[in-house]
A and B are shown apart, each in its own frame.
Chain A
């Protein structure tokens, strides 16, 4: 039409080289971060990937219902205790058969951080050639919002409710991404949905890295139903999580950590928690505990990203 309208199209569209294999009307909540992630991955990596996954919010769609399917990808549904072990088998089959494709093990944080962490760690140690993606919605959302290992301090879930005896989860969350980076696997990274270009780059790097071995992606995907925020805020929640260093974006190649996005002036965590109902009851003291935990993890990450390579073993002085 008119000339002025031709603005610059976002670069993210250049990464979406393949078709969306999903049918348009699938059973995800309105504003679901997982739906955006699930449609994004095959558009970047290609439709020839093989997904294996476990019971989770993604499973009803990925597995299909009755004898019909929601998408045209290959999917293999497994138990939560053996997700990475199943992906190992698939990857080894394709290697033996000489078939070139990408095995993506796509799980929630319940499988990755709690139930299936043992064999995830084992697969990382054996350096199996596949991509493991953990979409982190900080709880078991599909079964009714129970707490998981990555649920942050203070968050209310159905197993850590708000009441006279309990004020949400009283334990800190684990840092799954960092734990996996410590395995010194070829590629480990965190990503989120507010920075899709970063996510696309990391997906492509993971695909490249899986030629050398295990690739792990920890992707922050908020849950509008379980966390209690307005559906239109999904991307805003991700953005604020990055801006407050609640979920810093980094990548680790062979264990060497590099920040992919540094926030110059991190905002206090209250700018993130104010959007979300599961944190609504937190007072100043509770927020401080959460903030201290975030600062601790960020400091550790910063230290690791600087020290790697320069670090020298302490020399014992002889007396």
Chain B
């Protein structure tokens, strides 16, 4: 019975050995967070409060947003103690 195939998991649902699912959540965004590098004091509040955890440290000087997945909720801009992040409508970036 060498042709028998054993399921790796008892549940019929999902298998994390395959590549993980990932949605294009960046497409949901109506407003885009823009980080003002000069005002950023590198406190990290935007990074810890970001629900998607996509604020990345850049050269120990400021944080940048991964725009592929940012849903544009605006928590980073609201929680920034220096107001160094501003939410700008996506339409303004259209050329």
- A: residues with CB less than 8 A from B are 1-2, 5-10, 12-13, 16, 20, 23-28, 30-33, 35-36, 39, 43, 63-73, 76-77, 193, 196, 224, 230-236
Known contacts A27-B23, A64-B13; is-contact A13 B51 (Cβ 8 Å): no
Whether the Cβ atoms of B20 and A71 lie closer than 8 Å is yes
Q: Which of B24, B42, B87 contacts A7 (CB 8 A)?
A: B42
Q: How far is the CB of B75 from chain A (nearest CB, A)?
A: 5
- B: residues with CB less than 8 A from A are 11-16, 18-26, 28-29, 40-45, 47-54, 59-62, 66, 68-69, 71-75, 77-79, 87
CA distance A71 to B18 in the complex (A): 10
Whether the Cβ atoms of A68 and B51 lie closer than 8 Å is no
CA distance A70 to B22 in the complex (A): 7
Whether the Cβ atoms of A10 and B13 lie closer than 8 Å is no
Whether the Cβ atoms of A13 and B44 lie closer than 8 Å is yes
- Considering only CB atoms, which chain B residue lies closest to A5 in the complex? B61
Q: Which of A39, A77, A193 contacts B11 (CB 8 A)?
A: A77
Whether the Cβ atoms of A63 and B14 lie closer than 8 Å is yes
28 CB-based A-B contacts, threshold 8 Å:
A1-B59, A5-B61, A7-B43, A10-B48, A23-B20, A25-B22, A25-B69, A30-B51, A31-B51, A31-B73, A31-B74, A31-B75, A36-B49, A36-B51, A43-B53, A63-B14, A64-B13, A65-B14, A66-B14, A67-B13, A67-B15, A68-B20, A69-B13, A72-B16, A73-B16, A231-B73, A231-B74, A233-B78
Known contacts A1-B61, A9-B44; is-contact A24 B16 (Cβ 8 Å): no
Known contacts A20-B53, A35-B52, A69-B16; is-contact A64 B21 (Cβ 8 Å): yes
CA distance A72 to B9 in the complex (A): 13
CA distance A39 to B29 in the complex (A): 20
Could you tell me the dominant secondary structure of chain B's interface residues?
Answer: loop
Whether the Cβ atoms of B78 and A235 lie closer than 8 Å is yes
Q: Which of B13, B15, B28, B48 contacts A30 (CB 8 A)?
A: B28
Contacts of A25 in B (CB 8 A): 22-26, 68-69
CA distance A35 to B23 in the complex (A): 14
Top 8 nearest A-B pairs by Cβ distance? A64-B14, A232-B74, A31-B73, A69-B14, A30-B71, A7-B41, A30-B73, A23-B20
Q: Which of A6, A31, A35, A236 contacts B60 (CB 8 A)?
A: A6
Q: How far is the CB of A235 from chain B (nearest CB, A)?
A: 5
Q: How far is the CB of A79 from chain B (nearest CB, A)?
A: 14
- Considering only CB atoms, which chain B residue lies closest to A35 in the complex? B51
Q: How far is the CB of B12 from chain A (nearest CB, A)?
A: 8
Q: Which of B18, B29, B54, B61 contacts A24 (CB 8 A)?
A: B54
Q: How far is the CB of B69 from chain A (nearest CB, A)?
A: 4
Q: How far is the CB of B70 from chain A (nearest CB, A)?
A: 9
Q: How far is the CB of A219 from chain B (nearest CB, A)?
A: 14
CA distance A73 to B20 in the complex (A): 11
- Considering only CB atoms, which chain B residue lies closest to A13 in the complex? B44
CA distance A235 to B18 in the complex (A): 34
Whether the Cβ atoms of A13 and B47 lie closer than 8 Å is yes
CA distance A39 to B50 in the complex (A): 10
Whether the Cβ atoms of A23 and B73 lie closer than 8 Å is no
CA distance A231 to B31 in the complex (A): 12
Whether the Cβ atoms of A10 and B14 lie closer than 8 Å is no
- Considering only CB atoms, which chain A residue lies closest to B12 in the complex? A67
Q: How far is the CB of B23 from chain A (nearest CB, A)?
A: 4
CA distance A224 to B11 in the complex (A): 32
Q: How far is the CB of B34 from chain A (nearest CB, A)?
A: 15
